[in-house]
Amino acid sequence: MISFENVTAIFPRGAGVKDINLRVNSGDFVFIIGPSGAGKSTILRLIYMDIFPDKGKVKVYRYDSSKIKEKEIPLLRRKIGMIFQDFRLLNDRNVYQNVALSLYVSHVKTREIKTRVYEVLNSVGLGHRVHYKPDELSGGEQQRVAIARALVKSPIVLLADEPTGNLDPKVSAELMILLKKINKEGTAIVMATHNYKLIDYIPDARIIQMDKGRIISIS
């Protein structure tokens, strides 16, 4: 489903990733761990084709980084769910509207949007918060809205970039339990984090350890 073949991507200021080979299959839960600047977020950006390799190629679903056209990138991103440390929710609209936005961009019909948004919000435990604005919610709730927004389009993979970075340990634990449940239901998850403790929540996850832009171990 996702593969990296000898991928090197260097930024003008020097950091990036070098000689990356990896594969993510459907249903996998993959941790990418390592210190800051190890290249974890770069791996995720290469997957959603925000940046492109200088060498090698990345394949996601049926899209190949060496062949993809600019107008196909939105189509790829509709297949990928993304959550971030800073949630990236829009504070000028409520929870329902934030989640529904994902479906509007995919040209889904209004009636279906309504059904799917309520379903996904109930599944992340936010059915009672639909009319709240993000800044009226706690950090954990905001991250769950972000997860709902990512899941509502039934992605093939959920990319999580330090999703617990702004959350306290208790809320982080709740979030990991939620992500485990989502993974058990069939969605592959690739999570970049520097918090090694999170691995304990998913014992059967694959772990890719990175440092200075290179993979130093895969288990």
Partner 1 sequence: MTVFFFLIKEGFKGLIRSQYAGLFTIFIISISLILIGLGFVISRDMVFAVQKLKSQFELEVFLKYAATDREIEQFYAMLDSMPEILHASYISPDSAAKRFKKEFGEDIYSILDYNPLPPSFTIELKPIYRNVVSVEGIIANIRKNPIVDEVKYRRNLLLTLEKYQRIIFVIATLVFLFFTFVSIVLVSNSIKMTIFARRELISTLKLIGATNTFVKVPFFIEGALEGIIGAIISCGFFYALTYVANNFFYHFVYYKIQLDLKFYVGLISLGFLFGLIGSLRTVGKFLGKIG
Judged by the rule CB under 8 A, the positions of this chain that interact with partner 1 are 48, 71, 74-78, 82, 88-90, 92, 101-102, 104-110, 113, 149, 153
Q: How far apart are CA 27 and CA 182, in angstroms?
A: 10
* 21 closest CA partner among 2, 49, 48: 2
In the DSSP assignment, the letter for residue 123 is H
Terminal C-alpha separation, the chain: 18
Cβ atoms of 148 and 129 closer than 8 Å = no
Nearer to partner 1, 76 or 173 (CB): 76
Nearer to partner 1, 104 or 196 (CB): 104
CB of 77 to partner 1, least distance (A): 4
Q: How far apart are CA 57 and CA 73, in angstroms?
A: 15
CB of 143 to partner 1, least distance (A): 15
Nearer to partner 1, 92 or 204 (CB): 92
Coil, strand, or helix at residue 79?
Answer: coil
Nearer to partner 1, 113 or 202 (CB): 113
CB of 99 to partner 1, least distance (A): 10
Q: How far apart are CA 157 and CA 186, in angstroms?
A: 9
CB of 13 to partner 1, least distance (A): 18
CB of 73 to partner 1, least distance (A): 8
Q: How far apart are CA 4 and CA 148, in angstroms?
A: 28
Nearer to partner 1, 48 or 96 (CB): 48
Cβ atoms of 82 and 150 closer than 8 Å = yes
Query: Which amino acid is present at 36?
Result: S
User: Which residue bears the tokens 């093939």?
Assistant: 156
CB of 112 to partner 1, least distance (A): 9
Nearer to partner 1, 105 or 177 (CB): 105
